[in-house]
Amino acid sequence: MKRTTPEPVQVIKERRDKALRVLAGSIPYAHFLGIRFDRRGDELTALLPFDEKLIGNPFLPALHGGVTSAFLEVTAIIELSWSILWEEMETGTLDPRVLDADHLPRLPKTIDFTVDYLRSGLPRDAYARARVNRSGRRYASVHVEAWQDNRSRIFAQATGHFLIPARARPE
């Protein structure tokens, strides 16, 4: 029996990073807010570097509640798309070489999103991670948490339901 040589780690890394870059770069509003994504294997962490335009209450000062909510929602959408994309990349149904802005899977649509504001967002960098609790053929439920200096001191969390767009697969 002949064993196939595993792909060099650099090739795999580049493929995954490229897919993430194309996906995360596809949302203009995420770019406007300055959101970036950090990847460790399939785990994503969203970063929101602090900027003056993200302030909602200049007297405290605190991040705008809408910024927090948008940050959580973008993180949830990217995580959900990424989990679908990852599956397709790993099983070979998607060829990452043809993946660019024009060949990106349609983004999931938010049905509803509920944000729980636990404490005010401080004027510094924020981080978020999302967990896909259920992802069926059409609907998905995603939970997301955001923190700043201290991972265990979450400043906001949210749960959202998303509509997964029908994927036109090559025959």
The tokens describing 19, both together, are: 């897919």
Contact with other proteins (CB under 8 A) among 43, 111, 133, 153:
111
Contact with other proteins (CB under 8 A) among 8, 58, 92, 136:
58
Q: Which residue has the tokens 């990217």?
A: 78
Contact with other proteins (CB under 8 A) among 18, 45, 56, 154:
56
- What's the sign of the alpha-carbon dihedral 146, 126, 32, 130? negative
How far apart CA 8 and CA 87 sit, in angstroms, is 20
Q: Which residue has the tokens 């897919």?
A: 19
Kindly state whether residue 54 participates in binding other proteins, applying the rule CB under 8 A. Answer: yes
Label residue 94 exposed, middle or buried (CB < 10 Å: 0-12, 13-18, 19+): buried
Kindly state whether residue 47 participates in binding other proteins, applying the rule CB under 8 A. Answer: no
Residues sharing a CB contact under 8 Å with residue 97, sequence separation 6 or more, in sequence order: none
In the complex, least distance from residue 87 CB atom to other proteins, rounded to whole angstroms: 21
Kindly state whether residue 141 participates in binding other proteins, applying the rule CB under 8 A. Answer: no
In the complex, least distance from residue 9 CB atom to other proteins, rounded to whole angstroms: 32
Binding positions for other proteins, rule: CB under 8 A = 26-33, 52-60, 62, 64-67, 69-71, 73-74, 101, 106-107, 109-117, 120
